[in-house]
Chain A
C-alpha cells in the first residue's frame, strides 16, 4: 500500500442547521503529489480545507492526514497535527501585521516542536527562513527588514509560502493563493511553490477556481466530482 498524505473515506460535514454540504466517498493524495482542486465559490472548498486542516470536526467518515486518524482526534491533538504536518497559504492577508517578515515565516516553529527541530537541523529557523525566502525570490536586507504591511501582495504571498514550507511539513494547503495576483506573478508563484514543495517532499493541495492553472499540477480534481452531497442539492 502506498503511503498517503490525505486519505478520505465517506467524509461528511454540514454547518449547523444547514443541509449536508460535503459527502466525499473517496479522495487521496500521495506523498509529494501536487493536486489541483477546482470548484466554484460556495461549493464547500473552504469547509473541505477546514476539515483537512483539523480546524473543523468531521461529522462522519474517515479522514487520515499524514498517517494519523484525524476523525478520532480531540481538538488539541488536531491542532498539534496541523502545527506539525500542515503549511497553509490563504488567498490574501496572510501575515501577522505586528511581526517582522522573518518572524512571520518562523511562526510555525513557535507552535510545533517538530517543525522547530526540522528547521533547527537545517541551520536554525531564521537561517532556514532566509533560505526559503531567497529561493522564493525575496532576499536582501532592503526587503527582509521591511514592515510586512508595506510588501506588495505578490511578496506577501511568497512570505506566506515560505512560512508554509518551513520545518518540512508533509502537506501544503493553498486556498486560492493566486487570486489577488496578476497573470505573470501568478504563474511564477505557482511554479516556485510547486518547486519548493517538491524540494522538501511535501504534497501540495492547491485550490483555485482558475482552471488555467491546472496543467501545472500532477493531477486536477473538481470538487463537485468527488462531492456527492453537492449533487443532491442541485
Chain B
C-alpha cells in the first residue's frame, strides 16, 4: 500500500506543480539559510582556532585580551598602544621564556598588512596542529630591505621573488603616504597556511624603523628624501617600540605564573594573554550572536515548514471529490492518510535536499570570496552529517505537520460517505 500511495502522492504533487514548487522553494531557501549560517559559524571557528598554536603567550600593551589577540594574531583592528623595546628585551631575557618574537604592525601594501618581526618568527610561529611555516620559494629576510610575503599576497598580486615592493604608511590604499623612497625586494614566499599569515608581508623590525626615518610626526618630512639608503643603514635601527610579542615558554606548566609576572610588571604596564583562553573568551562573546542567528534561521525553517501545511490544507476542500473517488474505488481511510502524509513528507524532503544542494553551490561560489576577504576557509567537504540530520529533522517535522491535513481528510472521508455534494 505504501509504494502505490507514494506514487499517487507524487502524481498529485506534479498536478499542482506551481504550488508544490513554491513550497519546496520556501523550504529549500530556509534550510539553505540555516545550513549556511551553521557552516559559516563552524568554518569561522575552525579557521580562528587554527591560526595560532605553539605560542604560549602573546604580550602587548594592556587593552583587553580579545582586542590584543585580534590585532596581534588576526591583524584585525589596530593597537591602541605599543610596548617598549626595553620591555621586549626584558621578556626575551627572562629565564622561564624560551623564545620571544617581536611583532610590529601599522603599515600596509595594497591592503595587505605589513608585519615587522625577527628571523626567529619563521622558526617559532606555528599554526593548525603545530605546523611550522614553510617556504614555497626563497628564504627568510636577510638584508634590511628584504621582504617575505604570504601565499595569498603572492597569488593575488602576482608577485614573485625579486619583485620590488613599496609599503604604504598606515592602512591606506597608497598614494601620498607611500614609503616610495624605500623599496623592498621579495626574497621569500610562504606556502599557504589558511591563516592571516597568507595575507601578511613580513619584514624585519629594523626595516620598519628604517622606512619611518623622517616620518616621526606621522607624515613624511620633506627632509626624509634627502637621507640616503647608506645613511639609513649606518643608523641604529633598533626599534623604540613594538606592537606585541609572541612568547614561547621553557616549560608550559609555568604559563600562569609567567603570565602573572608579566601582567604585574612594574616598569611598564604589560598584558600577557594565553591565545587559547582569549579565543575561548572570544567565542563566548560571539557565541551569543551566533546563537541568535541560528535561532532566527531555525524559525525561518519553521515558517518554511508551515508553508507545507498551508499548501496541503488549502487544497483539501477542492480535493474532497478526489478523496471520495479513491474511497469508492476501494481506498481505505489509511490509504487517504498515507496519500496526504507522503505528500507532506515528499515536499519536506525535496525542499531539504534542494536546500543542501543550494548551500553546496553557494559555498562553491562564496568560498574564494570568504577566504580572501575574511580569511574564513569554508571547507566544501560535500554533504556533512549536519546536512543529513537537517534533512531528517525537516522530513520528520513535515510528517508531524502532515498529520493535521492527513487526519482531517481521513476523518472526512469516513463521514462524507460515497458522494460529496460539491
Contact = CB atoms under 8 A, between A and B. Distances in A.
B12 A88 contact: no
B15 A93 contact: no
A94 B414 CA distance: 19
B12 A98 contact: yes
A46 B419 contact: yes
Interface in A41-91: 46-47, 49-50, 53, 55-56, 75-76, 79-80, 82-84, 86, 88, 90-91
Interface string A194-215: 0000000000000000000000
B339 to A, nearest CB: 11
Contacts of B328: 53, 55, 82, 88, 90
B418 A50 contact: yes
A98 B14 contact: yes
A118 to B, nearest CB: 13
Interface in A90-110: 90-91, 93-99, 103, 107-108, 110
B87 to A, nearest CB: 79
B333 A99 contact: no
Contacts of B333: 75, 79
Contact of A163 (B321, B329, B332): B329
A112 B4 CA distance: 12
B130 interface: no
B417 interface: yes
Contacts of A76: 332, 334
B331 A79 contact: yes
Interface string B326-350: 1111111111000000000000000
A46 B418 contact: yes
B325 A94 contact: yes
Interface in B266-288: none
Interface in A13-58: 46-47, 49-50, 53, 55-56
A223 to B, nearest CB: 15
B422 interface: yes
Contact of A83 (B4, B321, B330, B422): B330
B45 interface: no
B4 A110 contact: yes
Q: Which of B12, B327, B422 has the most A CB atoms < 10 Å from its CB?
A: B327
A108 B330 contact: yes
B19 to A, nearest CB: 13
Interface string B378-422: 000000000000000000000000000000000000100111001
B123 interface: no
B137 interface: no
Given A95-B325, A96-B325, A99-B11, A47 B330 contact: no
Contacts of B225: none
Nearest to A91: B419
B322 interface: yes
A93 B422 contact: yes
Nearest to A106: B329
B311 to A, nearest CB: 15
Q: Which of A86, A99, A103, A163 has the most B CB atoms < 10 Å from its CB?
A: A99
Interface residues on B, range: 20 to 34
Given A97-B15, A99-B11, A88 B417 contact: no
Given A46-B417, A79-B330, A111 B12 contact: no
A110 B11 CA distance: 15
Given A98-B11, A111-B335, A90 B330 contact: no
A76 B336 CA distance: 13
Contacts of B419: 46, 49-50, 90-91, 175
Nearest to B414: A75
Interface in B287-334: 321-322, 325-334
A176 B71 CA distance: 85
Nearest to A77: B332
A99 B4 CA distance: 13
Contacts of B4: 110
B304 to A, nearest CB: 24
Contacts of B14: 98
A111 B422 contact: no
Interface string B40-62: 00000000000000000000000
A88 B15 contact: no
A80 to B, nearest CB: 8
Contact of B329 (A49, A56, A75, A83): A83
Contacts of B326: 96, 107
A172 to B, nearest CB: 12
A46 B324 CA distance: 13
Nearest to B4: A110
Q: Which of A49, A76, A99, A111 has the most B CB atoms < 10 Å from its CB?
A: A111
A109 to B, nearest CB: 9
A88 B322 contact: no
B418 A53 contact: yes
A202 to B, nearest CB: 15
A232 to B, nearest CB: 23
A97 B8 CA distance: 11
B325 A90 contact: yes
B417 A108 contact: no
Given A76-B334, A90-B419, 5 more contacts: A75-B332, A90-B328, A93-B325, A97-B322, A111-B331
Interface of B: 4, 8, 11-12, 14-15, 321-322, 325-335, 414, 417-419, 422
18 contacts: A46-B419, A50-B419, A53-B418, A55-B328, A55-B417, A75-B332, A79-B327, A80-B330, A88-B329, A88-B418, A90-B328, A96-B322, A96-B325, A103-B11, A107-B326, A107-B329, A108-B330, A111-B331
Interface of A: 46-47, 49-50, 53, 55-56, 75-76, 79-80, 82-84, 86, 88, 90-91, 93-99, 103, 107-108, 110-112, 115, 163, 175
